[in-house]
Amino acid sequence: MPHYHVVAAIIQHRGKILCAQKGAGKYSYIDYKYEFPGGKVETGEPLEAALRREVLEEIHLNIHVDELYHTVFHKYPDFSITMAAYLCTTSDVGSLLLEEHIQCQWLSPAELPQLNWAAADLPIAEKLAAAAKNV
* Residue 17 makes contact with ligand 8GT by CB under 6 A: no
Which of residues 10, 59, 63, 118 is near ligand 8GT by CB under 6 A? 118
CA-wise closest residue to 19 among 124, 94, 133? 124
Shortest CB 125 distance to ligand 8GT, Å: 9
Nearer to ligand 8GT, 4 or 32 (CB): 4
* Residue 40 makes contact with ligand 8GT by CB under 6 A: yes
* Residue 60 makes contact with ligand 8GT by CB under 6 A: no
Number of residue whose CB is nearest ligand 8GT: 39
Q: Which residues bind ligand 8GT (CB under 6 A)?
A: 4, 6, 8, 30, 35-36, 38-40, 54, 81, 83, 118, 120-121
